[in-house]
Amino acid sequence: MNKKKAVNGLLIGLSVLLVAGMAYQFTPNVGSLFNRQQGTPAFKVNGEVVTTEELEAARRGNPILASTDEGVLGDDFKTYLVSQAIDRKAITGGLGDIQVSRAEVDEQVKKVRESNNLTDNKAWTDALQSNGLTDSGFRTQVKQQLAYDKKLEQLRTATPAPTDAELRAFYDLNKSNYQSEPQIVARQIVVTDKAKAAGLLAQARGGADFAALATANSAEGKDRGGALAPLENGQPRPVVQATLPTEVGAAAFALKTGGITDVVESNGKFYIVKVEKFLPGQPKTFEQAKADVTTAVRQQKQNAAIEKWSDGLRQSAQVEYVDPAWKIENPTVASVAGKNIPYSEVVAQVVNNQQIASLVSQLPPEQLPELLNKTFKPQVVQQLIQGFAAPNIAQKLGLALTGPRQEIAQQLAQYGARDVQVTDADVQKYYRENVKQFETPASATLDEASFKDKNQAAAFRTDWNGQGDFVAAATKAGGTVSERGQVAPTPDQTGQVPPVTAAAFNQTLRSVGSGSLTPVVQVGDRYVVGYVRNLTRASTKPLSEVAGSIREQLLTQKQAEVGQAFLDKQVSALNPKNNLEAVLAAQAKRVGAQKPATPATPEGGSAPTQSATTPAEETSGDGTSTESTPTESTPPAQR
């Protein structure tokens, strides 16, 4: 076992703290980096030291942060690194009233060791040392984690129960989520051969009796004509989607107006489902949905309580910079409804975004800032403004909305789009303008048997019944076989569809086994019979078959547009101030003008003696600078 990987995994597995939608890793593999008391002090948070060694170790442990420490991007990453260290110290400092016994820590450590095959003391010690930890240090982290878990449970328990107004507001905005399950009345054909399935699909769509095809061919339900459920008064009973394999159920339940699915593969079997009737789910009344709604709203309120608690800890944190090289600039990037949003909030979303992480690994560091500054960051700022404005807007509108900021913003958008409807005319227009989306092109697999004599070719076409191998049978009959593979009725360079290919899509094919034979086609001085398999004829799904899915798509799109417009209007009425351009310009100027600051050297080097100062700060007696506590309107992570 790779011990380093094992311990990394178990450490990460201890917990991930989710506060207000921000992933904040409260884990020993990160937490240990911010709890070592030995080293060169970088700054203090509420008197607790954060060292240069801790920060550098955290930087090295994050591939994004480690990608560069220079330029604008390096400045952003430093802002994130320092603000996260401040946040963590602030949060752990808020756990002082929580008691965790030694027995509880011992039990958790025992579980970790057993689950990772590290019950041997030497193996355990080696694994910890490979991660820069000791048993004592690890236990400290476990104790903090248990304290944090207890604190969250304490906050949840103290959260008031949802009011009836809150429950009804949530229900009204989410009625579509509280419905009985949709059902279908349907039959299926299940076979293990793909080519056979394709042939059966062609027959079914050609008008053949589906129940008869199922009885003759299906490996499942053939005794009831392929019905998905036992018959009742001679008719199939309706079933829910879970009755079918995942892929098959998705295809069948997409046919809101009935129809036949394409061939769907699942676990080595090939399914064709004919939906005879689609029975949409019925909305549940408030009373029917009340238990589920109560659970959802209670969780929202608990998350809001956690957000409020963590915000308070961050806002009251006292930061003292010891090493000026670690001092960060964290200006207000936007303000709304009396709330100031720090630039570190924007940077946190940059670092935690998976798409950005991918870009960091693909693009040179000097190319990323412009991309981020022109596209990603403006979007993030708008979202943050909406989130910080949302509680104020909900209160002004008299809406009993609950949850963290961003959830309230989402609910406001839902409220703004509550009356959106999609008309039949909308559906018809979309279908007309996008009909190609619903077209299935013709295709087939084609082999050709070429004969010198027309009668010889005709005799082969008449005599061969599909049993055995086509190549062997045609060769024995005096033909020369060519395997064309996948073909489509597409014109060649002469503007004509090759004659045998054209014949493959002829309506007068002769069915043989799992394929079909074309009429005899003259090609030059030869006579050719084509063997066609996996035939799919060109088709266009009728509006009646796709209207349901189009309506859902248009409704989702329309609700998003109308809801966003409503939210934008409400936010605009609060006269928000967006300082992003000025903040970015100042950052570029500052970074461009300054020489790279060198933090105090952890190993043997001397730390700078000059302390950093920040606006509105005071100098303490020991020479460190004390940053003033942010006001209550200051959001999380602003330093």
Residue 232 or residue 217, greater confidence: 217
Could you please report the per-residue DSSP string of 20-80?
Answer: TTEEE---HHHHGGG---SS-EEEEETTEEEEHHHHHHHHHTSHHHHT--SHHHHHHHHHH
The CATH fold assigned to 442-537 is: Chitinase A; domain 3 (3.10.50)
Q: Judge whether residue 613 has pLDDT over 70.
A: no
Average pLDDT value over all residues in the chain: 87
pLDDT of the residue at 599: 57
- Please give the pLDDT value at position 619: 36
| pLDDT of 242 above 90 | yes
pLDDT confidence of residue 187: 96
The whole-number pLDDT of residue 234 equals 81
Q: Check residue 575 and give its pLDDT.
A: 98
For 331-383, write each residue's pLDDT tens digit: 999 999 999 999 999 999 999 999 988 888 888 878 889 999 999 999 999 99
Q: Which fold has domain 180-279?
A: Chitinase A; domain 3 (3.10.50)
Count of CB atoms situated within 10 Å of the CB of 342: 25
Which percentage of the chain shows pLDDT scores above 70? 87
Q: Would the pLDDT of 98 be above 80?
A: yes
Pairing mode of beta strands 231-232, 480-487: unpaired
Q: Domain ranges for the chain, please list them.
A: 3-158, 180-279, 442-537
pLDDT number for residue 206: 85
Rounded mean pLDDT, 183-187: 96
Query: What is the mean pLDDT of the segment spanning 277-296?
Result: 95
Predicted confidence at residue 595, as pLDDT, reads 62
Among 381, 347, 391, 408, residue whose Cα is nearest residue 638: 347
Q: CATH topology of 3-158 equal to that of 180-279?
A: no
The yes-or-no verdict on residue 603 having pLDDT over 60 is no
Which of 547, 549, 538 shows the shortest CA–CA distance to 439?
538
Say whether pLDDT at 6 is over 90.
Answer: no
With a cut of 70, say whether residue 217 has pLDDT above it.
Answer: yes
Q: Tell me which of 419-428, 499-508, 519-528 is least confident.
A: 499-508
| Mean pLDDT lowest among 53-62, 115-124, 146-155, 359-368 | 359-368
pLDDT tens column, 519-552: 999 999 999 999 999 998 888 989 988 998 899 9
Reply yes or no on whether the pLDDT at 621 is more than 60.
no
Whole-number pLDDT of residue 131: 78
Q: What are the tokens at 92?
A: 């752990």
Nearest CA-CA partner of 339 in 55, 574, 168: 574
| Sequence-ordered list of residues with C-beta below 8 angstroms from that of 237, at least 6 positions apart, any chain | 185, 227, 229, 230, 231
Say if residues 53 and 602 touch (Cβ distance below 8 Å): yes
User: What is the pLDDT at residue 224?
Assistant: 93
Of the options 1.10.4030, 1.10.287, 1.10.3120, 2.60.40, the CATH number for the domain spanning 3-158: 1.10.4030
Q: Quick check: 234 and 221 in contact, CB under 8 A?
A: no
Mean pLDDT, to the nearest integer, of 3-7?
Answer: 45
Whether residue 185 contacts residue 232, with contact meaning beta carbons closer than 8 Å, is answered with no
Q: How far apart are CA 52 and CA 499, in angstroms?
A: 77
What is the average pLDDT across 482-509? 92
Model pLDDT for residues 15-39, shown as the tens digit of each residue: 333 232 223 333 333 444 444 446 8
Q: Is 629 a residue whose pLDDT tops 70?
A: no
